Each structure stands twice: as structure tokens, then as C-alpha cells.
Structure 1
Amino acid sequence: MINIIILLAILGYSAWVLVRFLRKSRQGACAGCSSSKSCPGCAGSSMNEDHAKIEKSI
């Protein structure tokens, strides 16, 4: 009985980690990064995207 509980816990955690990884990978490198607000590389790319959106709307 305890083997089944341990197996279910391991499989549940593995599924949760896999789903979290897939969600972050769909967001892209900078959007999924935990330090995207303080990263100079990500900040520059988001500014470029914002600038491109503004130019398209004009």
C-alpha cells in the first residue's frame, strides 16, 4: 500500500514539473525567466517589441 502512495506522489510531482516547464517554454526565453524584470537583455528586447507595436498602431 505504501508503495502505491509513493509511486503516485512521484508521478504527480513529475507531471506537475512537466506542465510547469511546458507553460514556461511556450512563453519564450525572457517571459518565462524569473529574472526578466532585472535582466538587461530581456528589458531591451521587450522595449524593442513595445516600440514595434507602437509603430504598427500609428
Structure 2
Amino acid sequence: MINIIILLAILGYSAWVLVRFLRKSRQGACAGCSSSKSCPGCAASTVNEDHANIKRNI
């Protein structure tokens, strides 16, 4: 009986981690990152996206 409970706990946790990973991967690298506000790499990509949007509007 305890083996079934342990197995269900492991499988449940694995499913939860997988779902969380897939949700964050859909957001993209910087949007899914917990430090996206202070990351210099994410700030640079935002500037590049803004520049691309300005070029499209002209």
C-alpha cells in the first residue's frame, strides 16, 4: 500500500514539473525567466524588439 502512495507522489510531482516546464517554454526565454527584470540579456532583446517594431511602423 505504501509503495502505491509513493509511486503516485513521484508521478504526480513529475507531471507537475513537466507542465510547469512546458508553460514556461511557451513564453520564451526571457518571459519565462524569473530574473527577466534585472537580466542584461533580456533588456537587450527588448531593445532589439522595440527597434524592429519602429522599423515596421515607418
TM-score (norm 2): 0.80
**Unmatched 5+ stretches in structure 2:** none
RMSD (CA atoms)? 1.5
Answer with 41-50 or 19-28: which moved more: 41-50
Calculate percent identity across the aligned residue pairs: 88
Query: How many Å apart are 1:44 and its aligned residue?
Result: 1.9
Query: How many Å apart are 1:18 and its aligned residue?
Result: 0.2
The aligned residue for residue 42 of structure 1 is 42
After TM superposition, list the pairs within 5 Å mapping 1:1-58 onto structure 2. Answer: 1-53=1-53, 56=56
Hey, what's the Cα distance between the residues in 2 that align with 1:35 and 1:55? 28
Hey, what's the Cα distance between the residues in 1 that align with 2:8 and 2:57? 51
**Consecutive aligned runs of 4 or more in structure 1 exceeding 2 Å deviation:** 47-58
TM-score (norm 1): 0.80
